[in-house]
Structure 1
């Protein structure tokens, strides 16, 4: 079955149109133009703000004029990750989708369901003539995945809604009412290099499942950079010199692959030590990372290498930096309060760059994690910089819209939804700084494997979500 033949057809149609437009974070010019034209072609009031967010306004359906106005919000950009053996250019190509049972997937790349299904759903409401809804503003933000600069740049006074419906969560039985804030932490250094010749070792980690660095951080998935760091640590007694390291990718994706080329004093002895470690690590991850591959091979290199002392500094920094859950919330059962993703490490020609994304729902704990990372890096000769900080979203469980949605869900599906806060970064907290009186809630269809090439969207879940959303729109309360 083609995805164009599954219900709800209009959402899948709009998702396919959206996915034909390249939309990497920070390169959203084409998708901004696409959404702007979409609104204008419908004859709706459409504007692009100074940072690139698109706002489309649609009047209330007949008989719904006395209801509170709503804002429906999703982000236009997507995480661009692909399998290493896939030839694909996210800057020029559209996503190639296919149906696999109850799932829609992409061929070797991220699908863009995060947050493209939310965008497509809002498009479907905007173009509809038979779906009752109150006066609405569709807010399409940019650059959510790599800095939330769209939400951060959204000025107060542009929106007039009373309730914001954010369509950017990934479990269809959850209603999210809070989220974590975050900050990017970058460590850099520039070391001298020297010429090395002869045989070297290449250590390669691949086949990990990766995933969302917030929503999946507690699941025990392997981090390729941290696993690579363990191998490098074992080489310290062999006068190791690092030629290069290339590990991970985006800050908000758990690293799936990492590779290092090193020069060591006694390759045969090193191979024995690393082979033993390989056996141990494969056993550790046997139940959760079934496709993990670790390759240790001799190679010839003409690359320049760092000194043994500088190589030690990088290896110590890589192993000392915290990765994974830092603290579970003492107040909300099962919620990760703070974490760090050691997302990207690059060493080339003496230049070192290590990227992290630290998240926390408590500002003081976010600061604590950041301070620990700064200590790990700067004590080993690297310089750190903090940027891209954004606030969390404090839960308001007493909001009227939460009770309305809870009642609708229970009536429709025979069970209570889980009203939760999440460890992902949602834009609600940022938007709320300029719109403090707006009630906010986030929900969406089930999406698995977000931020990885295993990303997939559930067909049956989207059908469930679509019914839920239409009932919510019909039950928005009257103006106060």
Structure 2
């Protein structure tokens, strides 16, 4: 038994926690869900439940209705298997090999140096807890666990018609306990391409990099209203405000790998007029000012 599970079970007998602890122990970033999927299949089969994987890798687990409730409307509980793999800059962690290490911090469960994966590990654990319970009375019950939600929704998009029988679907991928959302605002991806003009490096320019550290980051959904700075926006604001006066010539600019994470670590490499190095230091301080205002 892990230290986390030992501590959490002292505080709560909720059957979700052993399941969540097991989920954390099996690497499952987006595109690498197979090991956790295999465990869930074995878990379901050991409990005598019907389980199958569809063509894209989604899992569907079915449990017959409680005696006397066979005529109730069927319910589908849904969660996604993958998690967002993000780590602190000073953390060594391979999300395809290393387990997540949860721990209790006051009233919260968090992870050591990485994302916790409660999105959607808690949802998965909740679904499995209902499947494994002998105390929860229910009509025909199905659990749908989709793949790759965080990096493309390929599991949801690949789900074929006719695989599910239930009339009511409850998605467990939300933040507030005891609340149900009716509907969804949705999301939009936008891709842009544009032409660039290459130029010769100006004589006397020196190579520099702008490095931003210590931002909180967060989720583009549940944290977007909390005023957390986006590192890409800070870089863009810096260039818009100071590129001309500093004689900046870009050599590299990039940042971010996940569309639903507030970026914390950009890369901006550039050439700068050597006589403007002092001004560069002063202009960089404006980023701190913008952070205080945001």
Report the equivalent of 1:397: none
Equivalence map 1:77-476=2 (5 Å): 77-172=82-177, 174-188=179-193, 199-233=206-240, 234-265=242-273, 266-285=275-294
Range with greater deviation from structure 2 (67-76 or 199-208):
199-208
- Following TM superposition, by how much is the alpha carbon of 1:30 offset from its aligned partner in structure 2, in angstroms? 1.6
Look up the SS of the partner of 1:185 in the other structure. coil
Cα deviation 1:76-113 (Å, max 9, x = unaligned): 01111111111111111110011112111100111011
Over 3 Å counting, the alpha-carbon distance change for 1:20 and 1:241 in structure 2 is: same
Corresponding position: 1:55 with 2:60: yes
Q: With structure 2 as the length reference, what TM-score do the two structures score?
A: 0.89
> In 2 relative to 1, CA 272–54 (structure 1 residues): closer, same or farther, beyond 3 Å?
closer
Deviations 1:13-51 (A, max 9, x none): 011111111111122222222222222222211110111
Report the Cα distance in structure 1 between the residues aligned to 2:291 and 2:150, rounded to whole angstroms. 32
Counterpart Cα distance in 2 of 1:228 and 1:120 = 40
The number of equivalent residue pairs is: 285
- List gaps (5 residues or longer) in structure 2: 1-5
Find the aligned partners of 1:13 and 1:79 in 2 and give their Cα distance. Answer: 21
Deviation at 1:148, TM superposition (A): 1.2
CA pair 36-190 structure 1, distance change in 2 beyond 3 A: farther
Structure having greater relative contact order (Cα 8 Å, sep ≥ 6):
1
From the superposition, tell whether residues 249 and 23 of structure 1 become closer, same or farther in structure 2 (CA, over 3 Å).
same
Give 3-state SS (helix, strand or coil) of 1:187's partner: coil
Answer yes or no: is the 8 Å Cα contact 1:74–1:168 preserved in 2.
yes
In structure 2, what is the Cα distance between the partners aligned to 1:226 and 1:279?
13
CA distance in 1, matches of 2:108, 2:188: 33
Equivalent position SS for 2:233: helix
Is the contact made by 2:83 and 2:117 (CA closer than 8 Å) also made in structure 1? yes
CA RMSD, Structure 1 to Structure 2 (Å): 2.2
Change (3 A) 1:282 1:71: closer
Q: What residue ranges of structure 1 are gaps of 5+ in the alignment?
A: 286-480
The whole-number CA distance in structure 1 between the counterparts of 2:244 and 2:199 is 18
SS in 1 for 2:188: strand
Q: Which residue of 2 aligns with 1:401?
A: none
> What do the CA deviations read for 1:41-71 (whole angstroms, capped 9, x no partner)?
2221111011111001000122322221111
> Structure 1: how far apart are the matches of 2:119 and 2:246?
45
Partner SS state of residue 123, structure 2: helix
Q: Residues 37 and 201 of structure 1: is their aligned pair in 2 closer, same or farther, counting only changes over 3 Å?
A: same
